[in-house]
Structures are given as structure tokens and as C-alpha cells.
């Protein structure tokens, strides 16, 4: 057979050989791929089982935890509706099917006595407070399809997660964070918490800085400002001052208040699940609410450790390095719960860069 010259019969034989080679190669590739898939599924299953079966350690080995998370990142995440619904059933008991997440005119009519979450006191609902409350639950459009709960951990810096966060249908944020890191943290905000302590520290309790406060709130557009107004007595005055400032200056934002009965029962529930703390963090409160209000929940910016996945130094917040008051929250314990819930298919935990 001369090069470049091929008879019809020879061409037929050559094509037949090529097809056989293609079929054998494709079959071999599929068998290898299937084997790798099965091995990966087994490895991921064992990793998830190991993470969910462990009891909460008293001391967390951050290096080992980081290695587990890096391995887990190579595993596909799938939502497990059965496990998610078990969590929701317990959470629904705290919120009365979300009807008691926040105070409204329906669940706190004039004459109703509000029992504080922490302080041993009650306050009677009079007309001025009643008028500040929403007529009904502000979450009537729930369930939201995809939600993002954004913490403020320094691990968000250089994560590139902003675009993914902003693609969510509803975005929760904690404690009035700055949004001038939008590439990493996004900018969309549907609800943001405001700790009374932040209002005192940054705005002197709104005794002199009302206009400045309202101007700075514009970055959150028409987001709901959620406060725990009836946890401690000092928080009530600050929270009402926020509500009146927003109202007086015609702000797009509306202040709403956690129902203290919800927070009390939520604290008891998480204690029964192993979170031992004087008080739940704002992040855990929002994660709990999101699990009830959303079809699927993704977490960003939750990482309470001073070193990252590769041992690098990490700021406490993406905008500063001020640590929390010691002994108030159990951030490490909360994070381990998030990791376990990710492994169970309850929520999706993003740590590090968004790929």
C-alpha cells in the first residue's frame, strides 16, 4: 500500500479499526471515570460521616479543621430535604411558623405585655410603640428561593464572593457592616442587624448624630434594620431611637424588632444542641431565621479563627481586627455546627475563595 493511496476496501477496514479504537477508548474512559466517581463518593461520604458524628470538642484544632474543609470543598454539595425539614420543625416551634420572629401589631397589640428576653422585666405596649410596629410579618413573601447569610469574618477578604452573594434572592447581613469591599462581600442587602452597642459606640446613642446615622444607612437601600430591642432594658431606648430617626428623616429603611419570646426559645434550642454561651451571636440568629424563611441557605464570611485554611493570618472582621467581648458568644462552637449542617445537606457553607 503506497502512502496517500488507499483502495475502497482498505478505507473500509481503516474506518472499522478507528471506530473500534474509539469505542474501546470511550468505554475505557467511562470505566475509569465511573471508578473515580465511586471512589470520590465513598471518600466524600466517609468525610461527611466523620464530621457529623463527632461531638463538639472543647478545644478546636484549627489546622486539622482547615484540612477537613479543604477536602470537603472537593466534594459536591447536595441539599438533604429530610434533614433540613427536621431542623425546620424544631425552629418552627420557636417562631410559631415564623409568625413570632419579629414583633408586629398582630402579635403585640395595644395592652399586650412584652416580656424581655434577658432582663427580668416587662413592658406594656402603648400606642407610640404600637405605631412603630409593622402591621403584619415583613416576611409575607417567604419562602425566598435562595438566601445568603453574610458574616463579617476577615476570611472574606480577597474571596471574590461578592457576585455570588448578590445573586441571592434575599441577603442577610450582620451588625451594619461597611460595604465598600463589594468584590468580596457584595452590596445587596435585604435585612441587616444592628446591635445597640454599635449605635452607642459609633453614634453616641443617636443623641447628637441622627442625621449622620440616617445618611450612612443609605448604603443599605431599602433593607430592614433588625434589632433586639427587648433583650435588655438599655437596648429598648437605643432601638426606639433608631426607629424614630429613620422615620423622622424619611428613610427608606424600616426598623423591626426581634420578638423576645423567639430569642428566648431559640437560645434554649441551641443550648440543647450543644452551643453553650451567654448569648447567641447575631450570625446564628440570622442563620436560624434563614433556615425557616428560605428554600436554600448559603453562608459566607463565617470563620472565627485567627488563621486561614493555609495557616495565613486572618483579621477578625474583613474591615477591622477588633475581637468580640470574651465569654459572650461561642463562635467556634457555632462554626462547627455550620460545618456539620453543611455536611448533612442542611445549608451550604462557603469558606475561602468562591471558585
What local confidence, expressed as pLDDT, does residue 209 receive?
86
What local confidence, expressed as pLDDT, does residue 10 receive?
59
Cα gap 162→117, rounded to integer Å: 35
Q: How does DSSP classify residue 76?
A: P
* 112 is known as an active-site residue: no
In sequence order, the 6+-apart residues with CB closer than 8 A to the CB of 319 are 152, 177, 178, 181
Q: Is residue 51 part of a domain?
A: no
Q: Is residue 262 part of a domain?
A: yes
What local confidence, expressed as pLDDT, does residue 54 receive?
72
What local confidence, expressed as pLDDT, does residue 7 receive?
56
What local confidence, expressed as pLDDT, does residue 11 receive?
55
Q: Residue holding cell 403585640?
A: 108
Q: Residue holding cell 440543647?
A: 272
What values do phi and psi take at 107, rounded to 5? Answer: -100, 0
Q: Is residue 216 part of a domain?
A: yes
Q: How many Cα atoms are found within 13 Å in the side-chain-facing hemisphere of 234? A: 7
Q: Is residue 7 part of a domain?
A: no
Q: Is residue 98 part of a domain?
A: yes
**8 A C-beta contact, residue 259 and residue 103:** yes
In sequence order, the 6+-apart residues with CB closer than 8 A to the CB of 80 are 344, 345, 346
The domain of 290 spans 80-349
Cα gap 352→69, rounded to integer Å: 10
> In the beta sheet, which residues pair with residue 189?
none
Cα gap 258→244, rounded to integer Å: 17
Q: Is residue 160 part of a domain?
A: yes
Cα gap 228→116, rounded to integer Å: 10
What local confidence, expressed as pLDDT, does residue 47 receive?
85
Q: Is residue 5 part of a domain?
A: no
What local confidence, expressed as pLDDT, does residue 211 receive?
95
What local confidence, expressed as pLDDT, does residue 30 receive?
46
What local confidence, expressed as pLDDT, does residue 51 receive?
84
Query: Which residues, given as ranges, of the chain have pLDDT below 50?
Result: 1-6, 14-15, 18, 21-22, 24-33
Q: Is residue 26 part of a domain?
A: no
In sequence order, the 6+-apart residues with CB closer than 8 A to the CB of 153 are 301, 302, 303, 304, 314, 316, 317, 318
Domain count, the chain: 1
Cα gap 13→25, rounded to integer Å: 18
What CATH number did the domain enclosing 106 receive?
Answer: 3.90.1480.20
- Which of 316, 317, 329, 350 is catalytic? The answer is 329
> In the beta sheet, which residues pair with residue 296?
146
Amino acid at each position: 500500500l503506497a502512502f496517500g493511496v488507499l483502495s475502497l476496501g482498505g478505507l473500509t477496514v481503516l474506518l472499522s479499526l478507528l471506530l473500534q479504537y474509539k469505542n474501546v477508548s470511550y468505554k475505557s474512559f467511562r470505566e475509569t471515570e465511573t471508578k473515580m466517581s465511586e471512589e470520590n463518593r465513598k471518600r466524600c461520604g466517609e468525610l461527611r460521616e466523620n464530621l457529623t458524628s463527632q461531638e463538639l470538642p472543647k478545644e478546636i484544632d484549627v489546622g486539622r479543621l482547615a484540612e477537613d474543609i479543604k477536602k470537603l470543598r472537593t466534594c459536591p454539595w447536595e441539599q438533604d430535604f429530610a434533614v433540613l425539614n427536621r431542623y425546620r420543625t424544631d425552629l418552627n416551634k420557636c417562631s410559631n411558623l415564623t409568625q413570632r420572629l419579629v414583633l408586629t401589631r398582630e402579635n403585640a397589640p395595644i395592652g399586650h405585655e412584652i416580656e424581655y428576653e434577658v432582663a427580668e422585666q416587662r413592658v406594656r405596649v402603648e400606642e407610640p410603640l404600637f405605631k412603630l410596629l409593622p402591621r403584619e410579618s415583613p416576611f409575607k413573601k417567604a419562602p425566598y428561593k435562595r438566601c445568603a447569610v453574610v458574616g463579617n469574618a476577615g476570611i472574606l477578604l480577597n474571596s471574590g464572593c461578592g457576585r455570588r452573594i448578590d445573586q441571592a434572592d434575599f441577603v442577610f447581613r450582620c451588625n451594619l457592616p461597611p460595604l465598600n469591599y463589594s468584590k468580596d462581600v457584595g452590596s445587596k442587602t435585604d435585612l441587616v442587624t444592628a446591635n445597640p452597642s454599635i449605635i452607642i459606640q459609633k453614634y453616641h446613642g443617636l443623641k447628637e448624630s441622627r442625621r449622620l446615622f440616617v445618611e450612612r444607612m443609605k448604603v443599605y437601600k431599602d433593607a430592614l434594620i433588625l434589632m433586639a430591642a427587648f433583650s435588655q432594658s438599655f437596648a429598648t431606648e437605643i432601638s426606639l431611637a433608631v426607629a424614630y430617626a429613620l422615620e423622622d428623616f424619611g428613610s427608606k429603611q424600616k426598623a423591626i424588632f426581634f420578638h423576645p419570646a423567639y430569642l428566648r426559645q431559640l437560645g434554649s434550642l441551641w443550648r440543647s444542641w450543644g452551643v453553650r454561651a451567654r448569648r447567641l451571636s447575631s450570625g446564628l440568629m440570622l442563620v436560624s431565621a434563614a433556615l425557616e424563611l428560605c428554600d436554600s441557605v448559603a453562608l459566607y464570611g463565617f470563620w472565627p479563627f485567627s488563621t486561614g485554611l493555609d495557616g495565613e493570618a486572618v483579621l477578625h472582621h474583613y474591615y477591622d481586627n477588633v475581637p468580640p467581648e470574651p465569654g459572650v458568644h461561642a463562635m467556634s462552637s457555632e462554626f462547627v455546627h455550620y460545618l456539620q449542617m453543611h455536611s448533612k445537606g442542611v445549608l451550604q457553607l462557603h469558606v475561602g475563595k468562591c471558585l
